[in-house]
Structure 1
Amino acid sequence: MNILITGTAGFIGFHVANAFIQAGNTVTGIDNLNDYYSVALKHGRLQAAGIDTASLLYNTAIQSSTHPGYTFYVLALEDYQALQQLFSEKQFDIVIHLAAQAGVRYSVTHPHAYIHSNMLGFLNILECCKQFNIKHLVYASSSSVYGMNTEETFSTGDPVDHPISLYAATKRSNELMAHVYSNMYRLPVTGLRFFTVYGPWGRPDMALSLFTKAILEDKPIDVYNNGNMLRDFTYIDDIVEGIVRVAQHPPTGDADLFAKAPDPSFSSAPFKIYNIGNNQPVKLMDFIEIIEQTVGKKAIKNFMPLQPGDVYKTYADVTPIIEELGYKPDTPVEYGVREFVQWFREFYKM
C-alpha cells in the first residue's frame, strides 16, 4: 500500500510508520516539528528511522537512508496548498492521521494552538481525502472525549457530549467532522480513541517520562488528585497493532443495523469508532510503585489536587475491536515500564 502518515516525528506516528515500512509498504510521513516539547526528541525519532535531520527543509522530501520505502516532509497541516500538492503527487491509498496538538493541560493556556492544528488541520486532511478518493482514513481520537462520563467502563456506544478540556472538545469535533465527510462523500473513516499510551520514545510531558526522570534525579514528583486516579495504560506496541489491523478493514456502513440500533460509534455511512486500551486500569500509586521497582529507587512524592481538564479514571471497553477484528491489547504494565525505562536511560544517558 501507498500510505500517508501524519505526525511521524511524534511518539505514536514514529512507531506506526516503522510498522508499515517493515511490512513492505510505501510510506510518506509528515510533521510540523513544533516545539510543544523537545524537538531534539523528535529529531531522534526521525534519525532512528533513517532521516537526516540536518537536511530538513520545509515541504522538501527527505529519503530515509535505512528504509527505501520511507520519505519524510516537514509540513504543517494548516498549509492546505502544500497538502493538496502532496496528495496529488503521491496518490495515496490510505491516510493515517496521527498529528495533533497534544496535551490536556496545555490546552488550558494555549487554546488557539488546538483550533489551528486539531480543527483546521483535520479539515484539510478530510478535504484532501475527499478530493483524492482515499480508500480509508484512520485518525486518532482520544479517551479524553469521555469527559464527565461516570460509567464503570467507557464504551464507544456511550454519549460523549460533556468534554472537560478544549483538547477533548477538538477530538470529539474531529469525530463529528469525520462522520459528515463519510456520510456526504462515502469516505471510509475510522476513529481510534487511545487510552494513555506509553512506551519507548514516549513524550517527555507524559507521567511515565516525568516520573522516571524525577526519580532518577532524586527530585520530587507531582502526584495529582493525591494519587487517587486510575489509568488504562496502553503499551505502544498494542496501539500500533490495533492501527495496522484497523487500516486493513475500512468500514462499509450498515443502514439496516444502524436503523435498528442507533449507536454513535457506527453509522449507515462507512464510519466507525473503536477504543484501543489495555482494558485493565492501574491505580496511579501502583503505577508509581512499578516505576520505583524498575528504576531501583523510591520516589519523593508531592501530592497535588486534581488539575483542570483531568479525569479521575479511564477504562476502555474494547469488546467491539475484539469481536470485529479479533484483537485485544494485553501487554502487562510491568513489561511496558521496563522497556520504557531501558530506552529512557539509554537515550538520555541516565
Structure 2
Amino acid sequence: MKKAIFRRHGAPTEVIELVDEPDPQPGPKEVRVRTRFMTINPADLLSIEGRYGAEPMDLPATPGVGAYGIVDAVGPEVTRLAVGDAVLPVGGGFWADTLILHERMAPKAPVGADPQQAALMRANPGTAWLLLTDMVALSEGDWIVQNAANSNVGRMVIRFARERGIRTVNVVRRDDVVGALKDDGADAVIVSDGGDELAQSVREAAGAPPKLALDAIGGASTGALAAAVADRGTVVTYGLLSGEDHRVAARDMVFRDVRLRGFWLFDWYRTATPEKMRDLHTFLEDKLAAGVLHTEIDAAYPLDRIHDALSHAARGGRNGKIMLTGDKDA
C-alpha cells in the first residue's frame, strides 16, 4: 500500500512524502478499504503547515478527512459490510490507497452516487448545514453574511439558505465568481478585501444588519464581519484561511454585544448524539441524490502525483476542488 505522510510541519509540497508499506489485513470487526477518491481541504493543508491549531498531532501523520472507497476484505465478526461495498470512511488519515477501518467507521455510500461527489458529501456540506441550523435561530426572510463565499462551504451555505428562504450577502475577492454564486441563489455578492467599508456595503445590500455572519478567514476579516452584523448579532468562525488570530473591535463586542463563536465539524461529531448524526447523514444523502451537493472538480491526481496535486490546490483563482485518486484504481 501507499500513503502520504509528513514527519514535520511545513509547506505541504516540501514535507509530504509517499511511503510504501505491506498491505494490512483486517482484524475482528474491521474491513480493508481500497480508496478510489480522497479530498484535499484547506484544513488538511493548514494541519500540515502546523497552523490549524486544533490539537497536537503525533508525527509522522497522514492527512485527509474525506474519501470514497470499496471494501476488498473483511475481518472476523463483520456483520454489516461485504466485499464490494462502497463506503465513505469516517475519521482521518485518508491520503492512502488502502485503509483499515472498524466497520462502524465505514458507513455505506449512497447507492448510485457519483464516487467523487460522495467523497465530498460529509465535510463541507455538513459544516454548511450546521452553520445555518445550529448557531442562531433563523427564520424565512432573515439575512446572513459570509466571507470566502466562493469556497465549497460558502456555496453550500448559499444553496441551503435559498431552500430555507434565508437571504445571503456573500463577500468574495474576485469578480469572476459572482455569476456562479448568483446561479447558486446568492441574493447579493460584494467584491471586497474586507476593509473598513465592508460593514456599510453589507448593510446597504441587505437593507438591514444581518443577524448572523460566517467567517472562514480570521484575522481582520472577523472584525469586518462583526462590524457588519446587527447589535447582539453573532459571528461564527469556522476557518482560518488567513492563518491569523481572529480580531474583533471592543466597540462591537463590548458596546454592541456582538457574540463570537467557533465551529469545528470534528468536535460536533465528538459530541453529537447518534440520532443527530443519523439525521445529518440522511439529509446530506438526500441532497446528494437531488444534485444540491454537486461540487465542481478542477482536477484529480493519482496519489503518485501528490506533489502536483498539492501545488494545484495552493493556486489562487481555482473554481473547483482538487482530489486524489487511489493508485490501484487510477
Hey, which of these two has a bigger chunk of strand by percent? 2
- Asked if Structure 1 and Structure 2 have the same fold, meaning a TM-score greater than 0.5 normalized by the shorter chain, the answer is no
TM-score (norm 2): 0.29
Hey, which of these two has a bigger chunk of helix by percent? 1
